Amino acid sequence: MQSLWNDQEAATFGTDPLGQRVYASRLLGRNPALVLHGGGNTSVKTEEKDFFGDSVSLCYVKGSGWDLATIEREGFSPVRMSALLKMAELPTMSDTDMVLQQRAAMINPNAPAASIEAILHAILPFKFVDHSHANAIAALTCNADGEARVKEVFGSRVIVVPYVMPGFILAKAVYDLIKGRDLRAEGIDGMVLLKHGLFTFADDAKTSYELHIELVTKAEEHLAKKAGTAAATLQPKEDLLAFASLRKAVSTKRGVPQIARLLNKPDQVAYASIGAAGTRGPLTPDHSIRTKRTPAVIGEDINASVQAYADDYAAYFQRNAKGETMLDPAPRFALWQGHGIVAFGDTLKDANIVADIAESTATTVALGEAVGGWEPLPEKDIFEIEYWELEQAKLRKGPARKVHQGKVALVTGCAAGIGFAIAESLAEQGAQVIGLDIDKDIPEIMKKIGAVGIVVNLTEDQPVTDAIYLAVRELGGIDIVVSNAGIFPKNDNLDVMVQTDWDRTLMINLTSHQKLMSKVIPFVKQGIDASIIFVGSRNFKAPGPGASAYSCSKAALTQLCRVAALELAPYKVRVNIVHPDAVFDTKLWTPEALAKSAARYGMTVDEYKTKNLMKVEIKSKDIGNMVAAMASPLFAKVTGAQIPVDGGNDRVI
């Protein structure tokens, strides 16, 4: 492992202690082999003047909810050293009291809650303290001979601390270990917490950080010598329907839709078949909050495998519970034999976090096995962390769950107008949207709403298939399909219409939808609260002269919807159609076109926009919101329905 310290870069963060603390913390956070997603913590001790001008000793410690990789000055909590040192002398202290007293001791009440390790940072007699959950330290210490290994690698340079519960209990254990000792005189550079992580400390940020890198590097080099030849790798199998089925089984067990990420590099496929070692416990106890104690092992029978995991989790809970309420028994990641590692999450971000942890775990556990065996903490210790109120509180701080959170939506024809509004509404309500359009700018257009855009000609078979496969491969399945793509050809009466205009309109407005259905339905059958929504038109019931191709295609599309509803009802897949009319905020309706049409009716433009029974303007967003509602639980028992969004049309009514 290489030091990333750069004096010029460090200077840009400020030469004051807190500025240097921010810089060194970010260096730790940049390296996933040291910390992942909120892991680790750092601190700096300073002397400052308080509001009244009195001198006060402070420990700026990483605040709850901040990642080291992106932490700012505001991410550190300024806690009075006097209070932290007094707490360390107490014989016992509850978690609730510790958090309350740390909050009370902060000179800035608006700062984030201080790390649960604030007391531990305070009692270490150095200005800068760095703590990580380095993979190499886990591989070294998660073993029956962990303490002997540490002494073999580091000698007397580090203090070895047996595993104890983080927070006050750990701080008290370390306090008793170092009380009365002169760590500087002893040449102590760090502290290894068995099956937990590494601390280093010094009186300047650079030294503490580079000691951290040096010690981790020594562990890496030691492990590399012991590991010998690399483990065998396997090529992955691909079965996307089975992948979608696995996602559905886990989502059902968890009670909410999950995004699924498949990690299927050859070494990850090999790890998925590692056997018992892969289910002994997490890389570090902190990870159990995100991953639970163990992954599921998925065999040939996916549903039975997920149920077996849930049963095992319930038994684990019963063995260790002391009045807690059991969390859902669904796995957070799985070892899918022959396929790879699968990570699950409420959102794509959550799934990616679990994927990162699972990937790091796989690498480290495989290394631990190669150098003498992987032996993490006993389950009772993991249970204490998993159900620790202070850790669970971190996960409850997020925003309220959105209607379509965890769902995957495929929307066609969404570069502009109604299609874009539909994609936007679904994304706003939590869906992970994949937008398909022939417009070459669709990737950038979808990026504006946090979605993925793919350039696809929907009349071509293979590109449509490839796009569907990509959506499933990247996200685990498809729950919502909005078949919206269409064109409105120029108005020509039947006796003068060019045949190619008719053929092209039918191909895009009807046949492309049928082609999409033939390819996407197998995956939608594995969807969660699955829904297909077609975008039709008022013209199917109230056609006009010169619009035969458009009107006939929309009428046929409505019939396609009705047949699909009949065919998919046994699979609990809802199929409905929305019929917009007079939606004028689209590219089709230029100011000139609007003025011309309004004049034809003897109306002003504003009168023309509201010429429906309710005298209201219909906008693309109205259609987007309706489609999002139709895909939601509000329409859970509705299929085969035709919903007009037109403000009321006397010809239709």
Cα distances from 43 to residues 33, 232, 302, in angstroms, run 20, 41, 46
Closest by CA position to 623, among listed 517, 514, 534: 534
Residue 40 near residue 135, CB atoms below 8 Å? no
Residue 387 near residue 67, CB atoms below 8 Å? no
3-state secondary structure (DSSP) of residue 131: strand
Query: Residue 92: exposed, middle, or buried by beta-carbon count in 10 A (0-12, 13-18, 19+)?
Result: exposed
Instruction: Find the angle CA(320)-CA(321)-CA(327) to the nearest 5 degrees.
Output: 110
DSSP category for residue 57: E
Beta strands 480-483 and 531-535 are parallel
3-state secondary structure (DSSP) of residue 596: helix
Segments of 527-619 assigned E as strands: 531-535, 574-580
Segments of 570-630 assigned E as strands: 574-580
Closest by CA position to 264, among listed 342, 344, 352: 342
DSSP category for residue 402: P
Amino acid found at 376: P
Residue 356 near residue 37, CB atoms below 8 Å? yes
412 φ/ψ angles, rounded to the nearest 5 degrees? -105, 155
Residue carrying structure tokens 């009802």? 569
Beta strands 190-193 and 296-298 are unpaired
Phi-psi region of 110 (alpha: psi -120 to 50; beta: other; left: phi over 0): alpha
Q: Exactly one of 23, 313, 550, 608 is catalytic; which is it? A: 550
**C-beta atoms surrounding 359 within 10 Å:** 21
Cα distances from 538 to residues 49, 351, 552, 592, 609, in angstroms, run 72, 41, 11, 23, 15
Counting every residue written for the chain, the total comes to 653
Q: Distance from first CA to last CA of the chain, Å, rounded?
A: 72
User: Is 316 tagged catalytic?
Assistant: no
Tokens at residue 580, please?
A: 């917009």
Q: Assign 3-class secondary structure to 454-488.
A: EECCCCCHHHHHHHHHHHHHHHCCCCEEEECCCCC
480 φ/ψ angles, rounded to the nearest 5 degrees? -125, 130
Q: For residues 130 and 211, give the distance between their C-alpha atoms in angstroms, rounded to a whole number.
A: 9
Q: For residues 385 and 379, give the distance between their C-alpha atoms in angstroms, rounded to a whole number.
A: 10
Residue 601 near residue 611, CB atoms below 8 Å? yes
618 φ/ψ angles, rounded to the nearest 5 degrees? -100, 125
Segments of 292-427 assigned E as strands: 296-298, 333-336, 340-345, 408-412
Q: Is the CA virtual torsion 462, 465, 467, 470 positive or negative?
A: negative
Tokens at residue 408, please?
A: 């995957």
Residues with a catalytic annotation lie at: 550
